[in-house]
Amino acid sequence: MSKLLSIKNLRVRFRIKSPLQAMLQKIDDPYIDAVRQVSLDIKQGETFTLVGESGSGKTTLALAVAGLLNATEGQIKFMNEDVTSMTSSQIMAYRKKISFIWQNSIGSLSPRMSVGSLITEGYKIHNLKDRDLKMEADRLLKLVGLPAHISGRYAHQLSGGQARRVGVARAIALKPKLIIADEPTAGLDVSVQGEILNLLNKLKDDLGVSLFVITHNLNIVRHISDKTAVMYLGRFVEQGQTDDIFAKPKHPYTLALLSANLTPYPEASLKNRIELKGEVPSLMDRPNGCEFHTRCPFSSEHCDNEFPPMHVFDGEQILTCHYPLNQN
């Protein structure tokens, strides 16, 4: 399979203090790094999942991939084109190949447009007039499993699951190569979560698109993704094949996330759980050494001072830790 998206050492910075504020408050570095040193590859037809807690930079990374945010450093290559150096007309063409399913499914739909016009909005924006928009809308609705009569409805008349399906229909309308799904199951009931995931899996197989899924729900990751990356404070602490990550996590943070994942088995809670101390540190005040050492149950003095090296296991599982867990 060929590479679809390839990111190398991406860094996205945000200014948090104006030059004057920074001068008056004597802050040398008035920026935060929301994404730092991120490298990843997504192949055609593959599902890549990004997990991490709030504020870890998941959405920032996705926005940078879509060209909605400028990368400070690094390279984003999509089908061998460099996204970071595109002109605005090139970006416009690029956006046809990439689409979003937003986290807030109802909020991402305009309240003043009917479902039918929402779904076909992409054609109008990209000036694709060679088709019957009404028929297109019906076809797309059918693809995502909604009845055709829904195209006359407005966003507030949809249930959470229906709105999510409309979001999916919008995302596939322009036949993109990559769909970025930001928390595709957030706020949905368990029985509906399965429906949306089944739909995404089916579309992936039928249309051959790649998926870039952002989530903090580990339960769904196992079922939809081929590759997984775990993000902490803007960096990837571990990435690899999803099965490997679940079967033998090697970074303590990954292990902690997996063990914090509650399952509906009352007796499972009796087993030893790795509990993290405290909360995610502020991006404005990154810890020295290994950035995870403040919460890591296995940290030593070494971790406090020195940034951990990168390890590669079996050619695929990449992680940054001084003491990778040995689980076989």
The binding site for another protein (CB under 8 A) comprises 53-54, 159-160, 189-195, 197-198, 201, 216-220, 222-223, 242-243, 256-257, 260-269, 273, 275-276, 279-280
Nearer to another protein among residue 279 and residue 316 (C-beta): 279
Q: What are phi and psi of 236, to 5 degrees?
A: -80, 120
At closest approach, how far in Å is the CB of 34 from another protein?
17
CB closer to another protein, 2 vs 191: 191
Contact by Cβ (8 Å): 170, 121: yes
Residue 130's CB: how many other CB atoms inside 10 A? 6
Number of helical H runs and strand E runs in the chain:
12, 12
Q: Rounded to the nearest whole angstrom, what is the least distance from the CB of residue 260 to another protein in the complex? A: 4
Closer to another protein by Cβ: residue 267 or 314: 267
**Sign (positive or negative) of CA dihedral 203, 200, 34, 323:** negative
- Closer to another protein at the Cβ: 113 or 192? 192
Grouping H, G, I as helix, E, B as strand and the rest as coil, residue 183 is coil
The answer to whether the beta carbons of residues 327 and 318 sit under 8 Å apart is: no
| Widest CA span in the chain | 66
The nearer residue to another protein, 110 or 157, going by C-beta atoms, is 157
Q: Buried b vs exposed e over 160-189: b needs ≥16 C-beta within 10 Å?
A: ebbbbbbbbbbbbbbebbbbbbbbbbbebe
Q: Any idea which residue has 């995931």 for tokens?
A: 197
The CB-of-203 to another protein minimum distance in angstroms stands at 12
Q: Least separation, in Å, of the C-beta of 182 and another protein?
A: 16
Q: How far apart are the first and last CA of the chain?
A: 30
Give the CA radius of gyration of the chain.
Answer: 21
Task: Measure the CA–CA gap between 66 and 97, rounded to whole angstroms.
Answer: 10
Closer residue to another protein, CB minimum distance, 80 or 263: 263
Instruction: Please name the residue that has the structure tokens 């979001």.
Output: 167
Give me the least distance between CB of 57 and another protein, in Å please: 14
Closest approach of Cβ 314 to another protein, in Å? 19
Residue whose CB is less far from another protein, 152 or 297: 297
Minimum distance from residue 213 beta carbon to another protein (Å): 13
